[in-house]
Structure 1
Amino acid sequence: MSLISKVNLSANFLEAAPPLSAQEATEEANRCLYCYDAPCITACPTGINIPSFIKKIASGNMKGSAKTIMTANPVGASCARVCPTEELCEGACVLNSSTKPIMIGSLQRYATDWAIKNKQVMFKAGISNGKRIAIVGGGPAGLSAARELALLGYKVTIFEAEKEAGGLNTYGIVSFRLPKEISYWEVEQVKSLDVEIRTNTRVGTDISASALLENYDSVLLAIGMANVPDLNIAGEDLDGVYDAIEFVKETKTKPITNHLVGKKVAVIGAGNTAIDAATCSVRLGAEQVQIVYRRTAAEMTAYRFEYEFAKQDGVEFKWLTAPQTIISDEAGNVTALECVKMELGEPDEDGRSKPAAVCGSEFKLDVDVVIKAIGQSRHLPLIEQFELDHDGGVISINLNSYQTSNEKVFACGDAIFGKGQGEAMVVSAAQQGKESAYAIHRKLTQETAETA
């Protein structure tokens, strides 16, 4: 195992799912019934006109197909790869009752890949209305809001803390499922509308919340989530313990190394990020990868297709298991993870059965690396700088308008996603970005009319 080259490991991070060929795409598009009042449209959170974009593929109108997708979903190229389509559009396909559903996600990828390869610029900015909007966060929600606002004539500035915009799509989803070049193209589509994106700019540090409130007509918080919280167990400060978000990010921003070759890895948690960390570890040459989760497969928040993907990669699952201590040798190297077996009891506040430790069931897993993937913390200091009402970091909004307790500030995406609801989807964030943009537009249009 130690002889595995870095070149071979890098190849492991190439996109895993192959694209449809032109013949396959045409044949699949011609299977579609082009339903009137199609249930697949209703099942798509962004309301893409799926029969329309598929029919355009069948007729050879690739630009029209891509534009239909991107009009409804500003991150439609990414969503073609990461959406749980079997639970959404494909799950609603009428052909499920007689044969197999249309491969909607693959066709969406085929159309948007054509647009990327042919360097298409899909939209033009609207006529300026003189209003300025600040968006904090350049992930799927922020980009979607910026795109819609720019089409409506607003001058939009996105403040992005990272080196590149794109958020989760750029940094948080593994390359073999979503190459960062796809996210970069979506960012460029937004920038082409004269949207200014200030990267390496952290609101609250590099520029104050009060400065945004003073200098812009409205502010939209699309700030996503922060880092993985602590496990609060002994040993988690050791060198062999990683934050899953940072772990995945490094595989997308730094050269691939062989530091996990031959190692035994335990990933704590069972959401989509945990699956990404586990499958990344496999591709980095780990000898054994185990996901440790205190509940069962029925309660895990990872998508079903992610779970199946991990099992195909050889990832093992330790259900009803909770970590207690990370053990090291005298040199400070991780050597084991002490765990305890759990049993499920009554539902807790989020509706899932609450796990409790089984007395006397402690045991050890031999591991060299531990990766924490137990959800993400909230950007509390930033929320409090804006002096907004919130519930443990979940920003309180008017559900009809996305307006916060400050009438000038709106919020969308993971920042408003409540506790105990699994993990938010990229496609849902995109739709919330669109809807919050329309809400800002309604408010500012009404204010303009009242002062005219």
Structure 2
Amino acid sequence: MVMNTDDSVSYSQQQLALNQMFKDINPALSAQQAGIESSRCYYCYDAPCIKACPSKINIPSFIASIHNDDLTGAAKTIYQENIMGGSCARVCPTEILCEQACVRNHEEEKMPVKIGLLQRHATDNAKFSGHPFDRAVSTGKKIAVVGAGPAGLSCAHRLAHLGHDVEVFEAQEKAGGLNEYGIAKYKLTENFAQEEVDFILSIGGITVHYETALGKDIRLTQLKEDFDAVFLSIGLQNTASLYIENEDNEMVLNSVEYIKELRQASDLDQLFIPKDSAVVIGAGNTAIDIACQLKRLGTEEVTLVYRRGEAQMSATAHEQQIAKNHQVRIKTWSQPEKINHDEDGQLTSMTFSKTYLEQGKLKSTDEQFDVNCSAVFKAVGQKMAYPEPEKLIPTISNGKIATFHNQLTSIEGVFAGGDCTGVGQDLTVEAVQQGKLAALAIHQELTSSEDK
């Protein structure tokens, strides 16, 4: 698109306004703050924080490097285990992982070392002359990675580091997966997701084919013929249904798709923004993300509704507090019954019934109430949609790809990781670790078979 000078100025102002609206929710530490915080670490020999970290980063080691003013060394320690350490420092729920395990919690102050912010300080301020890792001697092997989200990028990077050539097939216009399209804009701000993708690809040996989808543009049977191994990281494509009346109304929106539009928007005119009221259905991080972003966009009243209690919400207490800080109303023990609209099809409210637990089972009552809204945002989980045209289908368990030892699927030479599998929690750091483990398993399989 070609802009004249006035258009360019206008665009810049609109982009600036959008960026101001979604400033970083967790401001970075200053050098002085990082120095003080790093000095609080006991550098435990058998560090519980490492055990609690899904990617097994040597946390005491990188914090010690920060304390010694070696930020580049600290970052390299992080990247050795987690090449997406920059984004994980921003989106990882450290409060229930490494920081919860910190021995500082057992002291009177009950204040863990701020591991996430220290990790961000290192990765943001490291000064590498090139990529921090060199590629090994070429193995002559080619691996296909389907999906350029955190799992796919992690797998591709580790394989390239080990000397393999990697081709990544991505259905979207950009790489990054949920980091680019699905994380709240106030967590990964401005163009950070793409800068991280560029950093990962700079190791070399990785080719990305954009707008190339499994089942449409490529087939698994062909990939198995053309490559020495395949890694599937296709994510989750469909949103679960509420199965209630009037759910097909155009103002009943998919939260993930809305976040995607918001993250790609260059100005607010590109977005539909409910001005007076909106209801968010869900209890996870996506529900919190969409609710808080709606408040930032100017929706006057946002109500997040969940059928169970706050203690059962998959969003952490920290995330729930973020929602409360944004003045999001959280309504629990409430089950959706129907969506109401006027004669013109405009949403007016949503009807809920009160719920309770009886011997561990959720029960609904006859007591009902309405919540006014002009839009409803569904954040009730996503489902995998394995492409129908595919003749070669790995074993599916509970709606996701089943994996066995080292992320191997039921198909020989085909591995899988990330949200499309049922392994671990649906966290960026978990996906990164699964991609790394799959790469190591692929490398071992290819090199050991060659030795034989």
Partner residue of 2:191? 181
Return the alpha-carbon distance in structure 2 between the equivalents of residues 334 and 120 of structure 1. Answer: 54
Q: How many angstroms does 1:211 deviate by?
A: 1.6
Return the alpha-carbon distance in structure 1 between the equivalents of residues 274 and 307 of structure 2. Answer: 27
Return the alpha-carbon distance in structure 2 between the equivalents of residues 237 and 74 of structure 1. Answer: 41
Partner residue of 1:357? 364
1:105 partner SS: helix
Instruction: Report the CA distance shift for 1:128/1:85 in structure 2 as closer, same or farther (over 3 A).
Output: same
Contact 2:215–2:389 under 8 Å retained in 1: no
Return the alpha-carbon distance in structure 2 between the equivalents of residues 162 and 427 of structure 1. Answer: 21
Return the alpha-carbon distance in structure 1 between the equivalents of residues 390 and 306 of structure 2. Answer: 33
Partner residue of 1:427? 429
Matches within 5 A, 1:64-83: 64-83=73-92
Return the alpha-carbon distance in structure 2 between the equivalents of residues 372 and 93 of structure 1. Answer: 36
Identity of aligned residues (%): 43
Partner residue of 1:250? 261
1:380 partner SS: coil
2:80 partner SS: helix
Partner residue of 2:232? 221
Matches within 5 A, 1:15-414: 15-98=24-107, 99=109, 100-115=111-126, 121-179=131-189, 181-194=191-204, 195-257=206-268, 259-260=272-273, 262-346=275-359, 353-358=360-365, 360-381=366-387, 385-398=391-404, 400-414=405-419
Return the alpha-carbon distance in structure 1 between the equivalents of residues 313 and 257 of structure 2. Answer: 21
2:310 partner SS: coil
Range that drifts further, 150-159 or 7-16: 7-16
TM-score using structure 2 length = 0.91
Contact 2:274–2:374 under 8 Å retained in 1: no
Q: How many angstroms does 1:334 deviate by?
A: 0.9
* 1:361 partner amino acid: E
Contact 1:144–1:434 under 8 Å retained in 2: yes
Instruction: Report the CA distance shift for 1:256/1:337 in structure 2 as closer, same or farther (over 3 A).
Output: farther
Return the alpha-carbon distance in structure 2 between the equivalents of residues 274 and 300 of structure 1. Answer: 10
Contact 1:162–1:200 under 8 Å retained in 2: yes
Gaps spanning 5+ residues in structure 2: where?
Answer: 1-13
* 1:417 partner amino acid: G
Range that drifts further, 400-409 or 9-18: 9-18
Contact 1:239–1:333 under 8 Å retained in 2: no
Gaps spanning 5+ residues in structure 1: where?
Answer: 347-352
Return the alpha-carbon distance in structure 1 between the equivalents of residues 280 and 247 of structure 2. Answer: 13
Q: How many angstroms does 1:274 deviate by?
A: 0.6
Q: How many angstroms does 1:378 deviate by?
A: 0.7
Return the alpha-carbon distance in structure 2 between the equivalents of residues 212 and 331 of structure 1. Answer: 50
Contact 2:19–2:189 under 8 Å retained in 1: no
Q: How many angstroms does 1:382 deviate by?
A: 6.0
Contact 2:43–2:64 under 8 Å retained in 1: yes
Aligned Cα root-mean-square deviation (Å): 1.9
Q: How many angstroms does 1:261 deviate by?
A: 5.6
Range that drifts further, 265-274 or 117-126: 117-126
Return the alpha-carbon distance in structure 1 between the equivalents of residues 29 and 248 of structure 2. Answer: 45
Q: Which aligned segments of 4 or more residues in structure 1 are displaced greater than 6 angstroms?
A: none
1:242 partner SS: strand
Range that drifts further, 367-376 or 36-45: 36-45
CA-to-partner distance for each residue in 1:113-142, whole Å, 9 max, x for gaps?
A: 113x87863222221100000011111111
CA-to-partner distance for each residue in 1:211-250, whole Å, 9 max, x for gaps?
A: 2111001101111111212222222222211101001111
Instruction: Report the CA distance shift for 1:385/1:374 in structure 2 as closer, same or farther (over 3 A).
Output: farther
Instruction: Report the CA distance shift for 1:121/1:193 in structure 2 as closer, same or farther (over 3 A).
Output: closer
Partner residue of 2:22? 13
Contact 1:226–1:376 under 8 Å retained in 2: yes
Instruction: Report the CA distance shift for 1:308/1:380 in structure 2 as closer, same or farther (over 3 A).
Output: same
Q: How many angstroms does 1:109 deviate by?
A: 0.6
Return the alpha-carbon distance in structure 1 between the equivalents of residues 377 and 420 of structure 2. Answer: 24
**Alignment coverage as a number of residue pairs:** 434
Partner residue of 1:349? none
Return the alpha-carbon distance in structure 2 between the equivalents of residues 260 and 107 of structure 1. Answer: 36
Return the alpha-carbon distance in structure 2 between the equivalents of residues 78 and 374 of structure 1. Answer: 24
CA-to-partner distance for each residue in 1:171-196, whole Å, 9 max, x for gaps?
A: 11111011253322321222112211
Range that drifts further, 329-338 or 227-236: 227-236
Q: How many angstroms does 1:6 deviate by?
A: 9.1
Instruction: Report the CA distance shift for 1:171/1:111 in structure 2 as closer, same or farther (over 3 A).
Output: same
Contact 2:72–2:128 under 8 Å retained in 1: no
* 1:363 partner amino acid: F
1:56 partner SS: helix
2:367 partner SS: coil
